[in-house]
Structures are given as structure tokens and as C-alpha cells.
Amino acid sequence: MIIFAENIFWKILNFMCMNYSEIVMKVNDLLTKNNGLDDGWEVLFAKYADQITKNGRFYVEGAKKFRVNPPLYRYTSVSKIEDGNPVFDIRFCGQSVASVFVENENVKITAKYDNNKTYFGVDISLDKANWNDPKATEFRATFKNFKGGVKVKSPERYAENVLLAEFEKKGSDNKKLCYIQPVKLCSAFFQMPTPLKASNEPIDYAKVGGGIDILARVKITNNSSRLCVMELKDENNAKEPPKKAMKQAIAYATFIARLLRSQSGNQWFNLFGFGNDVPKELINIGAVVVMPFCNERNENFENFKEIEVAENISLKLYSLYYQLNEDGSVKEFTGSLVDDIANQ
């Protein structure tokens, strides 16, 4: 009976491995077919990389001209960095509450969002007010002093913001998971775009596809860091368990692997925080499902073999489960990614 159960287990495991390999083949096929010389994804992302390389310094310098303190956070996007006039998105609990414009030495803030009043009871309206204007200061203080339960439009974006804030902590004393940092774009949080629609099956190609929830650098050994593509869910339920969420993580990680071997791969590798060209020898990217802890459905993926996805690039599958305190802060992390970090 025990041998029979083990055989069933390995058959299921092999089926899932085959299924994951099929996702890699599907994504690679889509990327190959949609890589035209004039309008393919490789041309588009090379253009993005050039724009960020050219204009990113204006955003980094612009970010230094105004301070954003928790629980407010600075965000941007790849498509926004198209000129030297920085525009930042300011978010509270992962939800946009204001836009900041850096115009030479002037920092302006605009906040006309109906959602601010609907979700947070903040009805202060700003129209390119000076950052240090008393009304703008009052606006920020209202969020800083926010009391009561948080009602948000997107619980997933809220969870994403909580985890990004936790990952970016520098010291180890108050950090629940060390040796991890989120990849930022010009000193701001962002979602890395992809040319894939991967949230539903079948996975398909789209010039404007889904974004990677969290891209992070994780130190697995004392001498090297690994890029991890994190697919975040705010629930861990039977409808979308970890094994299903992993399909989306693998699809996006496969794109990142192809991107690193593309004409702009070295630029992106540097933009992701690695100070050198993409190594020609074998490298590994983590495909990570990030979900609330659920003892009945947790899967650590430690028995799954690495999947080759591009020239000398393979994927290693990980889990990262989180538990939150009543105040929304991170209580604990568990999962195979934690185990790998702890074993360095």
C-alpha cells in the first residue's frame, strides 16, 4: 500500500513537471513567433532599456528632492520614464493617492482622486500644489495618522505593498527575511512589464501584457545573488492553490530569461541591480509563488527539478508563504525560499 501511494505521488509530480515544462515551451514559442524586426517584444524592451538608461538619472535625482515616508510609498513604471520630466505615483496601502511632478527644482503634487475619500476618508484636493504647501503637508499627515481598519480597492496590491516595504528594510533587527531586496526602478517601486497574458489559461502574447508583481534579488550563497520572479496572491484557496499560481510565475520568469539573452539583456541586468553583464555560463532564476500560509495547501516545490528555459538559464521553483499581524505588518515567512536563504 505504501509503495502504491508513493507511485501515485511520483506520477502526479511527474505530470506537474511535464505541465510546467509545457508552459515554458508555450511561452518560448510565443516569444519566438512575436519577435519581429520592427514591432517585436525584443525591439520594444530594447527601447524601454534605452529610455531608462538615458532618462533614469533624472528620476533618481528627482526622487532626492522630496521625501516620502511610510505609510506612503513612491512608485513609477517602465513606460513613464520616456523623458527627463519625472512623474511619480504615490501610494497608500498599494493604492494610488497622488501624483508628484518634479519640474527643475520645483516639486508639485496633485491629488484629485475620488477613491481617496471613498476608501480612506481623505477629501483634500491638490492641483500641482507645492510639495511643502501647508495643504499638501496636511494631505500627507492625514495618511500618516490614519486610524482604523483599511478598506482597499485591491487586497492583492495591499499585500504587495506590505511585502515590498518589508523586503526593502536594510537592517536585520526588524526584518523578517534577510538577504532579499526588491528590484527598484529609479529609486521607486514598480511592476516589471511583460508581453504575456498569463493570469488565465491559455497563456497568450500581448504587447501590453501582465506585470510581474515583485522582482527581487535574493542572496542564496555568500558570493552570489539570484533574481527571483515573484507571483503574489492575497489568498491561498482551492480555486487557485500554489501549484496553479506557479504556472504564472514560470511564464513570467521564462520571459525574463529570454529578455536577459536578448539584445538589451546586459542593460536590463544592470537595471535589475547587478553591476556586470549577464554571465555566459549557467545562471539560475527563481520562480516564486508568494501566498498566505495555509497548512492544507502549502507546496514547497523542493522536489521539482530545475527547468531549462533559455541558453544557459534555468528556473528553480520556490514557495514563500506569509502571515500578517492584525496591524498588517509581516508576522512570519515560511517556504522553500526561506530554507534556501537560511542554508547559505
Residues 8 and 132 in one domain: no
300 and 336 Cβ atoms separated by less than 8 Å:
yes
Tell me, yes or no, whether 197 lies in a domain.
yes
Tell me, yes or no, whether 129 lies in a domain.
yes
Residues 281 and 180 in one domain: yes
Written as one letter, the residue type at 72 is L
Residues 234 and 324 in one domain: yes
Last residue of a domain, one of 115, 144, 173: 144
Mean pLDDT, residues 99-115 taken together: 91
- pLDDT over 80 at 3, yes or no: no
310 and 282 Cβ atoms separated by less than 8 Å:
no
H helices of the chain, in order, are 2-33, 41-63, 114-120, 134-144, 155-167, 242-260, 265-271, 336-342
Residues 30 and 134 in one domain: no
Last residue of a domain, one of 144, 176, 197: 144
Tell me, yes or no, whether 115 lies in a domain.
yes
Query: What rounded mean pLDDT belongs to the chain?
Result: 90
3-state secondary structure of 153: coil
Tell me, yes or no, whether 149 lies in a domain.
no
When mean pLDDT is compared across 132-136, 222-226, 273-277, the lowest value belongs to 222-226
What would the grid cell of residue 62 be? 528627482
Residues 222 and 302 in one domain: yes
**pTM of this prediction?**
0.92
Confidence of residue 343 (pLDDT cuts 50, 70, 90): low
Tell me, yes or no, whether 15 lies in a domain.
yes
Residues 43 and 83 in one domain: no
pLDDT, tens digit (0-9, with 9 covering 90-100), for 308-320? 999 999 999 999 9
Give the chain's domain count: 2
When mean pLDDT is compared across 4-13, 66-75, 113-122, 285-294, the lowest value belongs to 4-13
Between 200 and 248, the more confident residue is 248
What would the grid cell of residue 176 be? 523578517
Mean pLDDT, residues 193-208 taken together: 92
- pLDDT over 90 at 16, yes or no: no
pLDDT, tens digit (0-9, with 9 covering 90-100), for 148-187? 667 888 999 999 999 999 999 998 888 999 999 999 999 9
Residues 202 and 318 in one domain: yes
Bridge-based pairing state of the strands 283-292 and 313-324: parallel
Confidence of residue 200 (pLDDT cuts 50, 70, 90): confident
Confidence (pLDDT) at 146: 83
Tell me, yes or no, whether 214 lies in a domain.
yes
Residues 88 and 227 in one domain: no
**Percentage of residues in the chain with pLDDT exceeding 90?**
73
Q: Which domain holds residue 231?
A: 2-49+154-342
Of 191, 199, 193, 202, nearest in space to 29 by CA = 202
Tell me, yes or no, whether 105 lies in a domain.
yes
268 and 326 Cβ atoms separated by less than 8 Å:
no
Mean pLDDT, residues 95-116 taken together: 92
What would the grid cell of residue 145 be? 495618522
Residues 254 and 320 in one domain: yes
Helices and strands counted in the chain (H then E): 8, 16
pLDDT, tens digit (0-9, with 9 covering 90-100), for 81-93? 988 899 999 999 9
Confidence of residue 207 (pLDDT cuts 50, 70, 90): confident
Residues 133 and 184 in one domain: no
Tell me, yes or no, whether 206 lies in a domain.
yes
Residues 170 and 232 in one domain: yes
Query: CA 29, CA 17: separation in Å to the nearest integer?
Result: 18
3-state secondary structure of 225: strand
Confidence (pLDDT) at 215: 98
Residues 163 and 185 in one domain: yes
pLDDT, tens digit (0-9, with 9 covering 90-100), for 257-308? 999 999 999 999 999 999 889 999 989 999 999 999 998 888 899 889 999 9
Last residue of a domain, one of 144, 178, 199: 144
Helix axes 2-33, 242-260, angle to 10 degrees: 40
Written as one letter, the residue type at 330 is V
Confidence (pLDDT) at 287: 97
